[in-house]
Amino acid sequence: MHNKFLGLTPPMGWNSWNTFTWEINEELIKSAADAFETQGLREAGYEYVVIDDCWSEKQRGADGKLVPDRYKFPNGIKAVADYVHSKGLKFGIYSCAGTHTCGGHPGSFEHEFDDAETFAEWGVDYLKYDYCYKPDHIPGEILYKRMSTALRNCGRDIMFSACNWGGDGVYKWIRESGAHLFRSTGDIQDSWESIKRLALSQIGNECYGGNFCHNDVDMLVVGMRGGSNNQWINSSEEGVNVIADEGAAAAPKIGGCTDTEYRTHFSLWAIMNSPLMIGCDIRNMDSVTRDILTNKEIIAVNQDIECRGPYCIRQWNNPENVFALVKPMSDGGYAVGLFNFGDRNSEMSLQFWDIGLTYASGRGLEMYDCWNKKDLGTFTERFVATIEPHGCMMLRAKVVKAR
Query: Where does this chain bind ligand GLA (CB under 6 A)?
Result: 17, 52-53, 101-103, 130, 163, 187, 241, 243
Element (DSSP H or E) covering residue 152: helix 140-152
Distance CA 154, CA 146 (A): 12
Closer by beta carbon to ligand GLA, 241 or else 294: 241
Q: Is the dihedral of CA 164, 166, 172, 174 positive or negative?
A: positive
Closer by beta carbon to ligand GLA, 102 or else 348: 102
Give the amino acid at 224: M
Under DSSP, is residue 183 helix (H, G, I), strand (E, B) or coil? strand
Closer by beta carbon to ligand GLA, 190 or else 304: 190
Closer by beta carbon to ligand GLA, 9 or else 101: 101
Closer by beta carbon to ligand GLA, 101 or else 273: 101
Taking the complex as a whole, the smallest distance from the CB of residue 7 to ligand GLA amounts, in Å, to 19
Taking the complex as a whole, the smallest distance from the CB of residue 53 to ligand GLA amounts, in Å, to 3
Under DSSP, is residue 83 helix (H, G, I), strand (E, B) or coil? helix
Taking the complex as a whole, the smallest distance from the CB of residue 133 to ligand GLA amounts, in Å, to 11
Taking the complex as a whole, the smallest distance from the CB of residue 110 to ligand GLA amounts, in Å, to 20
Under DSSP, is residue 196 helix (H, G, I), strand (E, B) or coil? helix
Which residue, among 291, 293, 389, has the nearest Cα to 344 in the 3D structure? Answer: 389
DSSP 94: E
Closer by beta carbon to ligand GLA, 243 or else 285: 243
In whole angstroms, how far apart are CA 369 and each of 281, 335, 338, 392, 395? 28, 10, 11, 11, 5
Taking the complex as a whole, the smallest distance from the CB of residue 98 to ligand GLA amounts, in Å, to 11
Taking the complex as a whole, the smallest distance from the CB of residue 85 to ligand GLA amounts, in Å, to 23
The CB-side HSE value for 29 (13 A sphere, CA atoms) comes to: 34
Q: For the beta carbon of residue 364, count every other beta carbon within 10 angstroms.
A: 22
Taking the complex as a whole, the smallest distance from the CB of residue 344 to ligand GLA amounts, in Å, to 33
DSSP 237: -
Among residues 53, 157, 187, 218, which one is catalytic? 187
Closer by beta carbon to ligand GLA, 93 or else 154: 93
In whole angstroms, how far apart are CA 268 and each of 81, 223, 277, 318, 388? 31, 15, 13, 19, 15
Among residues 53, 115, 125, 130, which one is catalytic? 130
Read off φ and ψ for residue 175, nearest 5 degrees: -60, -45
Give the amino acid at 205: N
Taking the complex as a whole, the smallest distance from the CB of residue 122 to ligand GLA amounts, in Å, to 19
Beta-carbon contacts of 94 under 8 Å, excluding residues fewer than 6 positions away, are 50, 51, 52, 53, 55, 101, 127, 128, 129, 130
Read off φ and ψ for residue 199, nearest 5 degrees: -60, -50
Active site residue 52: no
Contact criterion met (CB below 8 Å) for 290 and 42: no
Distance CA 158, CA 118 (A): 12
Distance CA 214, CA 302 (A): 11
Closer by beta carbon to ligand GLA, 12 or else 243: 243
Active site residue 130: yes
Beta-carbon contacts of 361 under 8 Å, excluding residues fewer than 6 positions away, are none
**Which positions are annotated as active-site residues?**
130, 187
